[in-house]
Amino acid sequence: MNKAIKYRVYPTTEQSIMFAKTFGCARKIYNLMLADKIAGYQTTGKIPMVTPAMYKQEYPYLKEVDSFALCNVQLHLQAAFGNHFSKARKKRTGFPRFKSLKNSRKSYTTNNSHGTVAVSDGAIRLPKIGWVKAVIHRQPEDGWLLKSATVSQDPDGKYYVSVLFEIPDPVRDHVPDLSNAIGLDYASDGLYIDSNGNKGTNHKYYRESHEKLAKAQRRLSRMQGSRKGEKRSANYEKQLRKVNRIHRHIANQRLDHLHKLSTEIANRYDVVCAEDLDMRSLAGRGFGNGRATMDNGYGMFLGMLGYKLSDRGKYLVRVNKWFPSSQICHRCGKMHPEMKDLKIRVMDCSCGHHIGRDQNAALNILREGLRVLNESLAA
């Protein structure tokens, strides 16, 4: 299996210029190949095969950057076409679009060839760049094979390198202790409620910084460059970086808290059962709580739980989203269709069971998750 570790890097001025050139060349070659594919199809009815080498004579500056970066652009474009035309995908993606200088993500991917990419105590080596100062918060373990590295620059100007390793599959050498398990029910206010009745978090990081962000965005909207097609002034660019830094601060706060919560749960429990929800649909207009849903980061939280439990040889069980966890009395199993109304926050069953809606759902999710896990282990 593969594992990526993302490091913060601090390039010199010369290295920053080389990064900018590589970002630009990757974007340029993507747009050139996409344009030729479209033109070839319009002329012949077939999508032609194009390679980065075809453009280096006409655009000599492409030879200045890492060739692996350009080769990976070709692979990304092929994948984009494959995803669009694939009949096996449940949800088809749109037709590949040209990359914009202002709006596209600044990144490129390079491959490790005989040690061209390496990680040391305080630096990362990259082709055409050399050793770049980095914060190595985690060293690769013995037996990990370095495959590639993706260099990116965030809108706030910070640089990162995500290093991809091929690692041995985790070995689950013990039978999980099913008594050491927990169920999680998604909660718009609090991230989750677990089967013990505990709440995940009381923080709403976006809302906590909303006033500061709104003030910075109002200042930005009054500067030259805010209107469509208007040339951006130096003050606009400076204020835009301030807005992006606030967004990054909010995202970092959320990520830090989700990492701490997921690590604590992964260390404590052998089995975690959670709902497999479609968070994009929950954030839609129909539910009316899109801001709270996106501020929670529940999808990222489950992703973190998944790989952390897997690394420890433990299990994350995703319960089907159509399982009526909120409508079943945990004690007697009676169905309560009235619980479809989200305004009802407490379940009162005829068996005398009185319990909060979310904790009851978490207990049902735990029971269903353990049933699914037992079936998979017995198979």
Please report which residue ranges of the chain form alpha helices under DSSP H. 13-44, 67-85, 205-208, 210-221, 234-268, 279-282, 290-296, 298-311, 357-378
pLDDT tens, residue by residue, 282-329:
776 666 667 777 888 888 999 999 999 988 889 999 999 889 998 999
Which of 194, 275, 295, 368 is flagged as catalytic? 275
∠ CA 132-71-9, rounded to 5°: 15
What pLDDT, on a 0 to 100 scale, did the predictor assign at position 229? 81
What pLDDT, on a 0 to 100 scale, did the predictor assign at position 365? 94
Which of 270, 295, 358, 368 is flagged as catalytic? 358
Told to judge if 169 belongs to the known catalytic residues of this protein, a careful annotator would answer no
What pLDDT, on a 0 to 100 scale, did the predictor assign at position 223? 93
| Domain ranges in the chain with CATH number 3.30.420 | 181-199+253-378
324-329 long-range contacts, Cβ below 8 Å, gap at least 24? 325/185, 325/275, 325/360, 325/361, 325/362, 325/364, 325/365, 325/368, 326/185, 326/357, 326/360, 326/361, 326/364, 328/360, 328/364, 329/353, 329/360
What pLDDT, on a 0 to 100 scale, did the predictor assign at position 173? 60
Handedness of CA 49, 51, 57, 60 (dihedral sign): positive
Q: Taking the chain (379 residues) in consecutive chunks of 10 residues, what is each chunk's mean pLDDT?
A: 93 97 96 95 91 94 95 95 82 86 89 94 95 94 93 93 89 74 89 89 86 95 89 91 93 93 94 86 69 83 92 90 90 88 86 88 93 85
* Cα R_g (the chain), whole angstroms: 25
What pLDDT, on a 0 to 100 scale, did the predictor assign at position 248? 92
Measure the N-to-C terminal CA separation of the chain; round to a whole number of Å: 23
Contact yes or no for 19/129 (Cβ under 8 A): yes
Told to judge if 237 belongs to the known catalytic residues of this protein, a careful annotator would answer no
Contact yes or no for 299/279 (Cβ under 8 A): yes
Which of 66, 185, 295, 368 is flagged as catalytic? 185
308: number of CA atoms within 13 Å, CB side? 21
Told to judge if 211 belongs to the known catalytic residues of this protein, a careful annotator would answer no
CATH code that applies to domain 181-199+253-378 = 3.30.420
pTM of the entire predicted model: 0.80
